[in-house]
Every structure is written in structure tokens, then in C-alpha cells.
Amino acid sequence: MSGKIKFAFLLTGGCAGCEMALVDMGERLVDALEHLEVVFWAPTVADVKYKDLEAMPDQSIDLAFVDGMVRLEEHEHMLKVLRQKSKILVAFGICAALGGIPGMANIHPTEEVLEQAYKKTFSTDNPEGIFPQPSYVLEGKYQLTLPAFLDQVKPVNAVVEVDYYVGGCPPHQDFVAKAVETIVAGNLPPKGSWLGTGKAVCDSCARNPALKGRERKRVEEIKRTFEGAPQEGECLLEQGYLCLGPFTEGFCGASCPKVGIPCRGCGGPLPGVKDYGAQVMSSLGALLTDEAVDQLLKKYPNLVKLFYRYAFPGSFLGKAEQK
Ligand code: SF4
Ligand code: SF4
Ligand code: SF4
């Protein structure tokens, strides 16, 4: 790309952690900003309004990042506007790419989700049991409105076409720096690609049995992380901790296994995998003994939440649930 790249960033239904990953780039962000002209960054960073985006000419934004899933009518509307204004749209972070952790809400009826959020949490003080309403008239004269809540969490590509995907919750800052540099240099892969290393978390993990010149042993028992500390330097999966490193894009440099925490799959799928959770289930099955499978079923009451922790709305199963 020649000249400064007109850049936009929209947070939809996310926690803004993905934006923190950009900030975590530190000086590399300063270098990147020399090539970027930020024309819109809402609602977190710039003092811009949605109508400012709506007023921009179509295709006037070179590169737009979206972080967060889609849960409100407002998100749907803003995504459609952003798509119309942007040449390249990147689903940035696993919420935008596949629905992320909030996507697990799709396993529950909407009423149950609202009951939990507005009535049942320990910190809720809502004696009258009031739920948010899309519109309300205050004191008989002030019409207040809120964006309507959708029945399901959706990934960004359920609403608009996505050009590139970046996994991670949030994406690792080293990788974000590389992705931004790649985009700035114009070295883009075919549309629809995930921007990643194409290698699994295991490939950068110091616990990988391959580094000791041997195959991974079959898993004979399943342990949850509260059942004891894992042995240093040994593969977590071999020890029975359900590490999803073999099935997950590894641009994070094995951040979690490095500190004794099993990979939970936030990096997203490896190239060519169409359904992350289905791939995990089929591949993991071959690594477990029959006893380990029995323990898995006893110790994890909801395997969908285990295998599709970050990926349910973007999966075949999750899409079948969406209206
Ligand atoms: S992917 Fe993770 S860090 Fe990013 S918005 Fe979603 S929950 Fe937050
Ligand atoms: S600890 Fe996890 S990431 Fe590391 S080698 Fe074992 S399975 Fe792979
Ligand atoms: S190890 Fe797995 S869960 Fe942890 S940051 Fe990397 S991809 Fe995400």
C-alpha cells in the first residue's frame, strides 16, 4: 500500500482486551502508526460518533479491525456500515472470528442468560427483577432507547464478509505486531485466510516430547488443573491435563503451557480445519485410553464448553442453532 493506510477499529461485543493487545505492542505500535492514519476508533479510543462513520464515503477506509462478537442490533448495524466503508475487514481476536467465550451463551436459552445476568449473580441488586428494555419512557416524557439484544451470539462473518481472521483471546502482542507489519507491507495471503504461523502451540512448547526425541505417550488418566501441579518440563497432555496445544494455532509461543496452564484453544484452528471443536474431539479421542475417556466424561460435565470454549457460534453445530 502506498501512502498512509486509513485505519478503523470497531469494538462490538468484546471486552476490549484485543485493543489492549495493540497497546501492548509498545514502541512497535508507534512505528506502525507512522504508516496508519486512524480515521475511526470507537467506542474506546477516539472521540468519534457512529454517525461520523456513516458519513464517510464508501470504500474510503483501507483497513478495518473489528474485535468482539455480535450480540446487539447495534453491532449488526455498525458492522454493515463498516463493511461498506472498508476495503479490508479483519475479524481481530477469537470473539470476532468465531464468537469467543461469550459464544458459550448460545448453549443456553436467552431467558436463562438474562436471568443469570440480571437476577442471579452474587453482585446483582435488582429486587424488582427488571430486565433491560429496548425502549422506555421516563417520567412520561423522555423516550430512552437501548440496542435490542439478539437471540444468539454471532461471529462477525455471520453478518458481513470477512477478509482476514486473527485468533487469540486476546491475540498475542508479538503476533499482532507481525500481522500489522504484514498488512502495512501489503504481503497479504488469499482472502478468507487466518493470519497465523500455521503451526500448532506444541511447535513452540518447551514441554513437547518431540524435543526429547520421542512420541507423545497415550493419556491414561484425566486431571483437572485443581488436582495438583503438573511436573515441570513434561507435556501437560501426557500428564492428563487437557492441553489443546496440538490442535491450536500457536502464534502465542505456548504462553499458557510455559507457566503450567493447559492451552484452552484461544488461538483458533490450524490451517484447513473447518470446525475447531470437531477436530479436537476426533483427534483427542485417538490419544486417550478407554479409562481416560471414562474419566473425561465424569470430570467434564459439558464437553461442548470444553472443546468449543472459544468457537461455538462459528462451528457447524453452533451455526445450526443460529436463526
Ligand atoms: S477475544 Fe478475548 S480479549 Fe478479545 S474481545 Fe473477546 S474476550 Fe476480549
Ligand atoms: S504441554 Fe500442551 S502445548 Fe506443550 S507439547 Fe504438551 S500438548 Fe503440546
Ligand atoms: S496457549 Fe492456547 S490458550 Fe494460551 S494463549 Fe496460546 S493459544 Fe491461547
pLDDT band at residue 323, thresholds of 50, 70 and 90?
low
Section 193-199 average pLDDT = 91
Q: How far apart are CA 177 and CA 129, in angstroms?
A: 46
Phi, psi of 216 (to 5 degrees): -70, 135
**140-173 pLDDT per residue, tens:** 999 999 999 999 999 999 999 999 999 999 998 8
Determine how β-strand 61-67 pairs with β-strand 142-145.
Answer: unpaired
Section 54-64 average pLDDT = 96
Cβ of 18 below 6 Å from ligand 1: yes
Reply yes or no on whether the pLDDT at 180 is more than 90: no
Q: Which atom of ligand 2 is nearest to the CA of 210?
A: 5
Reply yes or no on whether the pLDDT at 1 is more than 70: no
What's residue 48's pLDDT? Answer: 86
User: Quick count: other Cβ atoms within 10 Å of Cβ 4?
Assistant: 15
Q: How far is the CA of 222 from the centre of ligand 2 (A)?
A: 15
**Going from the N-terminus, what domains does the chain have, and what CATH number goes with each?**
5-101+158-194 (3.40.50.700), 112-147 (no CATH), 201-321 (no CATH)
Reply yes or no on whether the pLDDT at 321 is more than 70: no
Cβ of 254 below 6 Å from ligand 3: yes
Section 283-303 average pLDDT = 93
Q: Which of 12, 90, 101, 153 to mutate to test the pocket of ligand 1 (most atoms within 8 A of CB)?
A: 101
Rounded to two decimals, the pTM is 0.93
Q: Which atom of ligand 3 is nearest to the CA of 245?
A: 2
* Ligand located closest to 243 CA: 2
Whole-number mean pLDDT of the chain? 92
Nearest residue (by CA) to ligand 1, atom 5, is 14
In the chain, the amino acid numbered 260 is G
